[in-house]
């Protein structure tokens, strides 16, 4: 019977935050363990849950500093379970996802203008098959160190979704999508790959961001960081 | 001011929202979760449309298959409309960017699902529901649909049989609020959650919208029809896709004997497994002979889930399975415009009974229904809102009523643990209101459910905080489950025959003389549940 620690939060309680330790059943998933605690021990324990099979994206939390889907993770002795980062904690493991979800709108991550009689080949479809596996669990957003210093950064999942539509032969208006991810977007990413490491669907936002950078350059945008180096070079 | 309010952000709700937005309405989608976390995300198999991309097919064939599967409880006109609009729905989904799997020439790929006479299901790998749902969500964002996420609906506001909006708990703050609207579409999903612990569904499929609908004056119909999926993992009820059998997987009992043709329709296979289990056998899915390379390529999700929940590797071991509740055919009765008995209140998707599935749903028809009828419901709700010139009165009375109701729950005794009762309800439903039913057991469960209803004030919540109180939401969900449990039971008790997904031990055959084309209806009069059997729309 492994013991796990859960970081809890209640805005109306003093102290608001505390870490509690619980014994959970051997072999159960973390989501089953949380459900067991709620139904048998402490009904006030608060977390999100849904499909139990890794497609609804409801139950992402942090365990020992790494994002996991609670339904796909088996707890180990001494694990520390915490809410995701870069979002206000509402209660216990539930964070407010409103701001993170706004990035989808800011990135214009949709098909804006359908192209007449576009043909999508199996190769076209395969090119962004993995990207369209995204379940919007928010793991990558929580893992992204850029958000620590720039809360306005669009973050990995919105950029991946932007690329998924930029690469879609059915999209006629690629420009507005590429324009939308210049500020606080592709150039702010440090390519550290933390997002890729935690994605439960095996998506690689880092490489999608690189693709978007190339596309941006092709469409006349410039890396703002390169700009300053350029003028430095001319000073010789 | 909202013109059209949609309750539920799955496939049907988002299609309705986009349709209403298309004609310039102010549209909001409200739900207890985020739209992309809806049940639709779990649909794997596909969405039917007689495109004939992968061999000959026709709308007539699609209609015929669907009518056959409905066992005389489908409405031929509604089925025809659904099937006729299939190809156009796929074209629309393609146009808004759905990443369908493709044929070499770029047409949408199609595969055969159980009960279909042709390769008719369009799919996106094994993520059809997920990708369709996310594409609809992206489109709704693009078109400027408003989202009220994590609002838990309590009741519809109805005056003189006309809907005016809803009451809901804003979960983040815990406050009860009212949302006014000229028309409302319910797209809140099914009630497989009644089979707690014995369902493939998300823990959120508790039928809240359907329960609120019967309280608001709507009629529910055919509630006794619940589809069981033959192969869910034994310990967790998590789904192992039909594709495992489609690819050549066997079903074995403890003696390692096959006992049924694995490719028969879901209800037949589920019943065969149930009989084995009743005789004390364990039942296993065997896909070992398919080989590791094939399994890794074609059934990677299944392998992962079997390892996670059963601790076994299907490449080398047998997978213990059981049939569990998967889809609910019954729901809110709607007319051919998707309007319920309450004016301005429409319903679409699994929560509605638009009479296309009848006694047994065909795989691939539910996603189609969410898109086609969801869209139609949105259009009709928009027309209704446009014509509406009713002054919306003050919401104060309704706000006060439901705030007081919530206030009372905070003071309930909490002497009886409702989580324990939810588990026993799930057990009783699975074993006695499940795949094969009999009158004695059904009546026993009905008595138990009535007792649970009376005991609700002795239950209640331990968490007395306001913010994001899931203990409170789950308790109200449980109340809704009790409300719906009774309608399922009275339908199942009254239907003295076996038809599609409803099987009675004492009456093993279809009784067409008595029940052919005859539906069960439930509604409330002065708070009392009423029930009758009758033909479609002949009241």
Q: Residue A100: its pLDDT value, please?
A: 97
- The answer, yes or no, to whether residue A236 has pLDDT greater than 60, is no
C-alpha B152 chain-centroid distance? 18
Q: Give contacts of A 166-225 with B, CB under 8 A.
A: 168, 170-171
The number of folded domains in chain B is 2
Residues B417-425 have a mean pLDDT of: 98
Tokens read off for B134? 């996310």
Domain range holding B484? 403-510
Mutant choice from B9, B203, B231 vs A, greatest count of A C-beta within 10 A: B203
Q: In what order do the strands lie in the sheet with A3-9?
A: A17-23, A3-9, A80-82, A60-63, A66-69
Cβ of A10 within 8 Å of Cβ of B138? The answer is: no
- The answer, yes or no, to whether residue B424 has pLDDT greater than 80, is yes
Q: Do the domains A3-95 and A98-226 sit in the same CATH topology, yes or no? A: no
Is residue B143 one of the residues assigned to a domain?
no
Tokens read off for B453? 């209803």
Q: Give contacts of B 160-179 with A, CB under 8 A.
A: 172
Reported confidence tier of residue B335, pLDDT bands at 50, 70, 90:
very high
Q: At B427, which CATH number?
A: 1.20.58.100
Residues B74-97 have a mean pLDDT of: 98
Q: Which of A182, A195, A167 is nearest to A223 (CA)?
A: A182
Q: In what order do the strands lie in the sheet with B110-111?
A: B47-48, B121-122, B110-111
Dihedral of alpha carbons A117, A123, A129, A131, sign = negative
Q: What is the mean pLDDT of chain A?
A: 95
Q: Residue A117: its pLDDT value, please?
A: 86
DSSP state of B103: -
Q: Residue A228: its pLDDT value, please?
A: 54
Is residue B91 one of the residues assigned to a domain?
no
A124 CA to chain B: closest CA distance, Å? 9
Cβ of B419 within 8 Å of Cβ of A50? The answer is: no
How do the domains of chain A map onto residue ranges? Answer: 3-95, 98-226
- The answer, yes or no, to whether residue B227 has pLDDT greater than 80, is yes
Q: What is the mean pLDDT of chain B?
A: 96
Distances (CA, A) of A187 to A102, A181, A190, A209, B108: 19, 9, 8, 9, 36
pLDDT in tens, A169-213: 999 999 999 999 999 999 999 999 999 999 999 999 999 999 999
Q: Residue A232: its pLDDT value, please?
A: 52
A225 CA to chain B: closest CA distance, Å? 31
pLDDT in tens, A148-167: 999 999 999 999 999 999 99
Mutant choice from A37, A42, A49, A91 vs B, greatest count of B C-beta within 10 A: A91
CATH architecture of A98-226: Orthogonal Bundle (1.10)
pLDDT in tens, B266-284: 889 999 999 999 999 999 9
pLDDT in tens, B7-51: 999 999 999 999 999 999 999 999 999 999 999 999 988 999 999
Contact predicate B108/B119, CB 8 Å: no
Helix (H), strand (E) at residue B141: helix B128-142
Q: Residue B242: its pLDDT value, please?
A: 85
| Distance in angstroms (rounded) separating the CA atoms of residues B186 and B280 | 42
- The answer, yes or no, to whether residue B539 has pLDDT greater than 70, is no
Considering only CB atoms, A111 lies closest to which of B97, B236, B304, namely B97
Residues B87-102 have a mean pLDDT of: 97
Residue B367's φ and ψ, nearest 5 degrees, are -65, -40
β-sheet bridge partners, residue B327: B227
B369 CA to chain A: closest CA distance, Å? 21
Considering only CB atoms, B141 lies closest to which of A105, A124, A128, namely A105
Considering only CB atoms, B97 lies closest to which of A38, A74, A165, namely A165
Residues B238/B41/B56/B73 CA torsion (nearest 10 deg): 70
B102 CA to chain A: closest CA distance, Å? 5
Cβ of A110 within 8 Å of Cβ of B139? The answer is: yes
Is residue B24 one of the residues assigned to a domain?
no
Q: Residue B300: its pLDDT value, please?
A: 86
C-alpha A119 chain-centroid distance? 31
CA angle B437, B438, B444 (to 5 degrees): 105
List CB contacts of B531: < 8 A, sequence separation 6 or more: B487, B490, B491, B494, B520, B521, B522
Q: Residue A143: its pLDDT value, please?
A: 98
DSSP state of B15: H
Considering only CB atoms, A50 lies closest to which of B204, B308, B311, namely B204
Reported confidence tier of residue A225, pLDDT bands at 50, 70, 90:
confident
Reported confidence tier of residue B390, pLDDT bands at 50, 70, 90:
confident
What CATH code is assigned to A3-95? 3.10.20.30
Q: Residue B397: its pLDDT value, please?
A: 94
Active-site residue numbers of B?
266
Q: Residue B538: its pLDDT value, please?
A: 61
**A113 touching chain B per CB within 8 A:** no
Q: Give contacts of A 36-95 with B, CB under 8 A.
A: 38-40, 42-44, 46-58, 72, 74, 90-91, 94
Reported confidence tier of residue B264, pLDDT bands at 50, 70, 90:
confident
- The answer, yes or no, to whether residue A90 has pLDDT greater than 90, is yes
A61 CA to chain B: closest CA distance, Å? 15
Q: At B270, which CATH number?
A: 3.90.700.10
| Distance in angstroms (rounded) separating the CA atoms of residues A78 and A69 | 18
**B204 touching chain A per CB within 8 A:** yes
| Distance in angstroms (rounded) separating the CA atoms of residues A182 and A220 | 11
ipTM of this complex: 0.96
List CB contacts of A154: < 8 A, sequence separation 6 or more: A103, A106, A107, A181, A184, A185, A188
- The answer, yes or no, to whether residue B411 has pLDDT greater than 90, is yes
**B468 touching chain A per CB within 8 A:** yes
Distances (CA, A) of B119 to B62, B115, B129, B230: 10, 11, 18, 22
Residues A77-100 have a mean pLDDT of: 98
| Distance in angstroms (rounded) separating the CA atoms of residues B441 and B254 | 28
| Distance in angstroms (rounded) separating the CA atoms of residues B163 and B213 | 11
pLDDT in tens, B114-159: 889 999 999 998 899 999 999 999 999 999 999 999 999 999 999 9
**Least CA distance to A177: which residue of chain B?**
B142
Residue B293's φ and ψ, nearest 5 degrees, are -60, -45
Is residue B138 one of the residues assigned to a domain?
no
Lowest mean pLDDT among A94-108, B258-272, B311-325: B258-272
pLDDT in tens, B56-77: 999 999 999 999 999 999 999 9
Q: Give contacts of A 116-155 with B, CB under 8 A.
A: 119-122, 124-125, 128-129, 132-136
Is residue B350 one of the residues assigned to a domain?
no
Contact predicate A171/A113, CB 8 Å: yes
| Distance in angstroms (rounded) separating the CA atoms of residues B273 and A76 | 36
Q: Residue B321: its pLDDT value, please?
A: 97
| Distance in angstroms (rounded) separating the CA atoms of residues A83 and A40 | 22
Q: Give contacts of B 226-285 with A, CB under 8 A.
A: 236, 238-239
Q: Residue A72: its pLDDT value, please?
A: 97
DSSP state of B391: P
Q: Which of B312, B307, B314, B309 is nearest to B292 (CA)?
A: B314
A115 CA to chain B: closest CA distance, Å? 8
**A21 touching chain B per CB within 8 A:** no
| Distance in angstroms (rounded) separating the CA atoms of residues A1 and A33 | 11
The answer to whether residues B320 and B409 belong to one domain is no
Residue A104's φ and ψ, nearest 5 degrees, are -65, -40
Cβ of A44 within 8 Å of Cβ of B463? The answer is: yes
Q: Residue A231: its pLDDT value, please?
A: 52
Q: Residue A234: its pLDDT value, please?
A: 53
The answer, yes or no, to whether the previous bond of A15 is cis (omega within 30 of 0) is yes
Q: Which of B47, B68, B22, B35 is nearest to B376 (CA)?
A: B22
């Amino acid at each position: 019977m492994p013991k796990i620690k859960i970081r809890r939060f209640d805005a109306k309680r003093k102290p608001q935050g505390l870490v509690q330790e619980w014994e959970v059943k051997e072999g159960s998933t973390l989501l089953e363990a949380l459900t067991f605690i709620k139904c048998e021990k402490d009904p006030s324990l608060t977390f999100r849950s849904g499909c139990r099979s890794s497609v609804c994206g409801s139950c992402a939390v942090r365990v020992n500093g790494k994002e996991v889907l609670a339904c796909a993770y088996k707890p180990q002795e001494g694990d520390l379970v915490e809410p995701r980062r870069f979002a206000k904690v509402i209660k216990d493991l539930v964070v407010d996802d409103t701001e993170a979800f706004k990035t989808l709108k800011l990135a214009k991550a949709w098909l804006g203008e359908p192209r007449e009689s576009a043909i999508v080949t199996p190769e076209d479809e395969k090119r962004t098959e993995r990207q369209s596996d995204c379940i919007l669990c928010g793991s990558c957003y929580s893992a992204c160190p850029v958000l620590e210093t720039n809360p306005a950064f669009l973050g990995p999942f919105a950029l991946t979704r932007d690329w998924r539509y930029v690469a879609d032969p059915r999209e006629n208006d690629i420009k507005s999508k590429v324009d939308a991810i210049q500020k606080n977007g592709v150039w702010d990413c440090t390519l550290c790959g933390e997002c890729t490491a935690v994605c439960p669907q095996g998506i690689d936002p880092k490489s999608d961001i690189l693709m978007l950078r190339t596309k941006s350059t092709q469409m006349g945008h410039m890396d703002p960081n390169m700009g300053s180096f350029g003028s430095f070079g001319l000073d010789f | 001011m909202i013109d059209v309010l949609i309750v539920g952000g799955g496939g049907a709700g988002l299609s309705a929202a986009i349709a209403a937005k298309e004609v310039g309405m102010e549209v909001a989608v409200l739900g207890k979760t985020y739209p992309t976390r809806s049940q639709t995300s779990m649909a794997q198999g596909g969405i039917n449309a007689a495109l004939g991309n992968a061999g000959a097919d026709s709308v007539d064939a699609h209609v015929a298959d669907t009518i056959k599967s409905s066992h005389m409880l489908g409405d031929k006109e509604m089925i025809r409309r659904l099937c006729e609009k299939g190809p156009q729905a796929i074209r629309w989904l393609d146009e808004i960017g759905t990443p369908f799997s493709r044929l070499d020439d770029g047409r949408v790929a199609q595969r055969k699902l159980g009960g279909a006479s042709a390769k008719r299901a369009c799919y996106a790998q094994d993520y059809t529901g997920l990708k369709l749902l996310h594409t609809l969500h992206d489109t709704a964002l693009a078109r400027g649909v408003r989202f009220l996420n994590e609002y838990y609906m309590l009741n519809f506001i109805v005056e003189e049989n006309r809907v005016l909006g809803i009451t809901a708990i804003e979960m983040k703050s815990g406050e009860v609020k009212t949302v006014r609207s000229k028309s409302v579409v319910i797209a809140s999903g099914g009630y497989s959650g009644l089979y707690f612990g014995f369902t493939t569904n998300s823990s959120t499929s508790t039928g809240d919208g359907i329960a609120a609908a019967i309280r608001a004056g709507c009629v529910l119909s055919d509630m006794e029809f619940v589809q069981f999926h033959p192969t869910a993992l034994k310990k967790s009820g998590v789904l192992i896709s039909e594709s495992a059998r489609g690819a050549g997987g066997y079903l074995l009992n403890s003696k390692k004997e096959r006992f049924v043709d694995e490719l028969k329709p879901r209800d037949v296979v589920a019943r065969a497994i149930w009989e084995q289990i009743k005789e004390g056998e364990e039942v296993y899915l065997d896909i070992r002979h398919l080989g590791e390379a094939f399994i890794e390529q074609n059934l990677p999700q299944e392998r992962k889930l079997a390892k996670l929940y059963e601790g076994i590797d299907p490449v080398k071991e047998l997978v213990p399975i059981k049939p569990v509740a998967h889809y609910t055919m019954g729901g809110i009765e709607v007319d051919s415009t998707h309007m319920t008995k309450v004016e301005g209140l429409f319903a679409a998707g699994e929560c509605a009974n638009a009479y296309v599935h009848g006694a047994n749903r065909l795989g691939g028809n539910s996603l189609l229904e969410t898109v086609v009828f969801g869209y139609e419901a949105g259009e009709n709700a928009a027309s209704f809102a446009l014509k509406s010139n009713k002054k919306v009165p003050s919401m104060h009375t309704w706000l006060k009523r439901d705030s007081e109701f919530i206030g009372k729950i905070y003071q309930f005794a909490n002497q009886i643990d409702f989580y324990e009762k939810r588990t026993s309800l799930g057990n009783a439903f699975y074993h006695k209101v499940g795949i094969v039913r009999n009158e004695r057991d059904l009546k026993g469960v009905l008595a138990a459910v009535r007792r649970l209803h009376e005991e609700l004030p002795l239950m209640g919540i331990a968490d007395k905080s306001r913010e994001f109180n899931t203990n409170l939401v789950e308790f109200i969900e449980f109340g809704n489950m009790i409300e719906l449990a009774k309608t399922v039971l009275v339908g199942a008790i009254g239907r003295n025959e076996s038809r599609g997904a409803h099987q009675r031990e004492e009456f093993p055959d279809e009784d067409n003389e008595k029940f052919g084309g005859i539906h069960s209806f439930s509604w409330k009069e002065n708070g009392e549940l009423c029930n009758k059997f009758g033909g479609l729309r002949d009241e």
